[in-house]
Amino acid sequence: MHPAPSLILFTTLSGIGFGLLAWLGFGLRTPTGFAAIVFFGLGYGLAGIGLIAAAFHLGHPERALLAFTQWRSSWLSREAVLSAATLAIMAPHAAASAFWDTPLPVLGWIGGALSLVTIFATAMIYAQIRAVPRWHHWSTPPVFVLAGLAGGALLAAKLTIALWLMLALSMAMVAHWVAGDRRLAASGSDAGTATGLGGLGRVRLLEPPHSGRNYLLREMVHIVGRKHAHKLRLIALGLGALAPALLLMLPASYAAAFLALALHLAGMLAQRWLFFAEAEHVVGFYYGR
């Protein structure tokens, strides 16, 4: 699929924002006073920027409120409801920590749990799409959840936890790529299933369905060269997980933690670009791709 910058920003920033809120809610980092304003403000800011970016990806951003209405059947709608519930429930805990130095643990735990479920719901928006076999696999949600928790742990200054999560994230990314490379071939989709003529025999396209570009070709069909994909995977793996893990093994320092966070964000932006660019939508068979 064509990588949309709004979706890359949404999945990266909202993930790390809700990851930070999860750690703040669970009490593994419970700041008070001005520190609480900074940490909770950062979590809300990252989550909010990501959600705003997602809203602008809609064809009609002014209708974003309609995304809340289909929660019974749509993971996108569930993600919208869960994100709003998380921010609303976490707000009293954040305010009590910042202005009265008395955190509200019960609301914090509920908000932390909802933060994790929100990240999972974001992953399921893509994992439930059968038309993209690479996404429609159990390996998709762990990458999203571990990325959010690892980045959130870095922002919360829980460096030991962040180290182990970075290592887990590196294994999840590799597993997702290895499994994903076999998914399209194993799906049984081909030109025959795309055209509905497979029952007549082997189908070959003599020419494309039409000569011009359209929405499906622009959004759903994007080809990445294998050589470039391998380079970007190494960049995503190295910057997003392995390099931060190595930095976190050094004696604790603000400089190492800040550099680890910067590298992690750069690596995750590359990983998310690849996540969309390598998603072979089966509609591509209809166009002979």
The structure tokens listed for 126 are 């893509």
Task: Judge whether 136 lies within some domain.
Answer: no
Q: Is the same domain home to 96 and 199?
A: no
CA atoms within 13 A on the CB side of 243: 19
Task: Judge whether 217 lies within some domain.
Answer: yes
Q: Is the same domain home to 59 and 120?
A: yes
Q: Is the same domain home to 108 and 203?
A: no
Exposure letters 38-70 (e unless 16+ CB within 10 A, then b) = ebbebbbebbeebbbbbbeeeeeeeeeeebeee
Task: Judge whether 142 lies within some domain.
Answer: no
Is residue 184 very low, low, confident or very high in pLDDT (cuts 50, 70, 90)?
confident
CB 76, CB 40: distance < 8 Å = no
Domain that holds residue 78: 1-128
| Residue for token pair 């949404």 | 10
Task: Judge whether 49 lies within some domain.
Answer: yes
- Is the predicted pLDDT of residue 62 greater than 80, yes or no? no
Percent with pLDDT over 70 in the chain: 88
Instruction: Tell me the C-alpha distance between 214 and 224, whole Å.
Output: 19
Task: Judge whether 157 lies within some domain.
Answer: no
Instruction: Tell me the C-alpha distance between 90 and 86, whole Å.
Output: 6
Task: Judge whether 145 lies within some domain.
Answer: no
Stated as kind and residue range, the H or E segment containing 194 is helix 191-195
Which of 128, 159, 191 is the C-terminal boundary of a domain?
A: 128
Q: What is the pTM of this model?
A: 0.90
Task: Judge whether 181 lies within some domain.
Answer: yes
Q: Is the same domain home to 121 and 178?
A: no
Task: Judge whether 152 lies within some domain.
Answer: no
Which of 78, 109, 128 is the C-terminal boundary of a domain?
A: 128
Which of 76, 104, 128 is the C-terminal boundary of a domain?
A: 128
Q: Is the same domain home to 182 and 282?
A: yes
CB 239, CB 274: distance < 8 Å = no
The structure tokens listed for 211 are 């000569």
Number of domains in the chain: 2
CB 21, CB 109: distance < 8 Å = no
pLDDT, one tens digit per residue, over 107-162 is 999 999 999 999 999 999 999 998 889 999 999 999 999 999 999 999 999 999 99
pLDDT, one tens digit per residue, over 219-250 is 667 667 667 888 999 999 999 999 999 999 99
